[in-house]
Structure 1
Amino acid sequence: MTSNFNPAWTPARDPAQGRFATLTFERDVAAPLSVLWQAWTAPAARAVWAAPTPSVVVEFLEADTRVGGREVSLCKVEGQPDIRCECGWLDLEPARRSVNYEVVSCEGVTQSAALVTAEFSGTQERSRLVVTVQLSSLAEDMEAGYRQGFGAGLDNLAAVARRTMVLQRVIRAPRSIVWNSWMNPEALPQWWGPDGYSCRTTRIDLRTGGEWVFDMIGPDGTVYPNHHLYHEVRPEERIGYALLWGENGPKHADAWALLEEQDGATRVTLGMVFSTEAEFQQAKGFGAIELGQQTLGKLERFVKAR
Structure 2
Amino acid sequence: MTHATPSMTGDRPAARFATLTFQRDIQAPPSVVWQAWSDPVARAVWAAPTPEVTVEFLEADTRVGGREISLCKVEGQPTIRCENGWLVLQSPELSVSSEVISCEDRIQSAALVTAEIRPSDAGSRLEVTVQLSSLSEDMEGGYRQGFGAGLDNLVGTAERTMILQRRIEAPVAAVWGAWVNPETLPQWWGPDGFTCRTDRIDLRSGGEWVFDMIGPDGTVFPNHHLYREITPRQRLSYALLWGENGPKHADAWARFEEVDGATLVTLGMVFNTGAEFQDAKGFGAIELGHQTLAKLEAFIARP
Which fold has the larger relative contact order, with Cα–Cα distance below 8 Å and residues 6 or more apart in sequence?
Answer: 1
Task: Measure, in 2, the Cα distance between the counterparts of 1:296 and 1:31.
Answer: 22
TM-score by length of structure 2 reads 0.95
Tell me the CA shift for residue 72 of structure 1. Answer: 0.2
Which residue pairs with 2:182 in the alignment? 185
Match of 1:29 among 7, 15, 26: 26
Q: What does residue range 51-62 of structure 1 map to in structure 2 within 5 Å?
A: 51-62=48-59
> Contact between 1:31 and 1:124, CA under 8 Å: does it hold in 2?
no
Cα distance change of structure 1 residues 116 and 48 upon mapping to structure 2, 3 Å threshold: same
Partner amino acid for 2:37? W
Uncovered stretches (5+) of structure 2, i.e. residues with no partner: 1-9
Aligned to 2:101: 104
* Code of the aligned partner of 2:87: L
* TM-aligned CA distance change 1:297 to 1:31, over 3 Å: same
1:40 maps onto 2:40 in alignment: no
Q: Which runs of 4+ in 1 moved over 6 A?
A: none
1:281 to 272, 278, 281: 278
Q: Distance in 1 between matches of 2:302 and 2:78?
A: 55
Aligned residue runs from structure 1 range 224-303, under 5 A? 224-303=221-300
Query: SS state of the match for residue 116, structure 2?
Result: strand
**RMSD in angstroms over aligned alpha carbons?**
1.3
Cα distance between partner residues in 2 of 1:248 and 1:31: 31
- Please tell me whether the aligned partners of residues 166 and 269 of structure 1 are also in contact (alpha carbons under 8 angstroms): yes
Unaligned segments of structure 1, at least 5 residues: 1-12
The CA deviation at 1:19 is: 1.0
3-state SS in 1 of match to 2:12: coil
Aligned length, in residue pairs: 294
Secondary structure at 2:212 match in 1: strand
Residue 15 of structure 1: how far off its partner (Å): 3.0
For 1:108 and 1:24, how far apart are their aligned partners in 2?
28
Q: 1:33·1:124 contact (CA, 8 Å) conserved in 2?
A: no
Secondary structure of 2:24's aligned partner: strand
Q: Which amino acid aligns with 2:81?
A: R
Counterpart of 1:96, as a letter, is: E
Aligned ranges for residues 56-205 of structure 1 at < 5 Å? Answer: 56-122=53-119, 126-205=123-202
CA distance in 2, matches of 1:144, 1:14: 23
1: distance between equivalents of 2:155 and 2:94?
17
Aligned partner of residue 58 in structure 1, secondary structure = strand
Counterpart CA distance in 2 for 1:88 and 1:245 is: 36
Task: Tell me the CA shift for residue 226 of structure 1.
Answer: 0.3
SS in 2 for 1:114: strand
SS at match of 1:247: coil
Cα contact 1:197–1:217 (8 A) shared by 2: yes
SS in 1 for 2:173: helix
Q: CA deviation at 1:124?
A: 9.6
How far does the alpha carbon of each residue in 1:185-240 deviate from its partner, in whole angstroms, 9 at most, with x for none? 00000000000000000110001000000000000000000000010101000011
Query: Shift of the alpha carbon at 1:123?
Result: 6.1
Cα distance between partner residues in 1 of 2:11 and 2:26: 41
Checking the alignment, whether the CA contact within 8 Å between 2:16 and 2:138 is kept in structure 1 is no
SS of residue in 2 equivalent to 1:196: coil
The aligned residue for residue 15 of structure 2 is 18
Contact preservation (8 Å) 1:66, 1:92: yes
What's the CA shift for 1:107? Answer: 1.1
For 2:270 and 2:138, the matched residues in 1 are separated by 33
Contact 1:87–1:100 (CA under 8 A) maintained in structure 2: yes
Q: TM-score, normalised to structure 1's length?
A: 0.94
Conservation of the 8 A alpha-carbon contact between 1:74 and 1:85: yes
User: Equivalent residue of 1:293, what SS?
Assistant: helix
Alpha-carbon separation, structure 2, partners of 1:232 and 1:112: 30
- Cα distance in 2 between the residues matched to 1:68 and 1:98: 12
1:290 to partner: Cα distance: 0.2
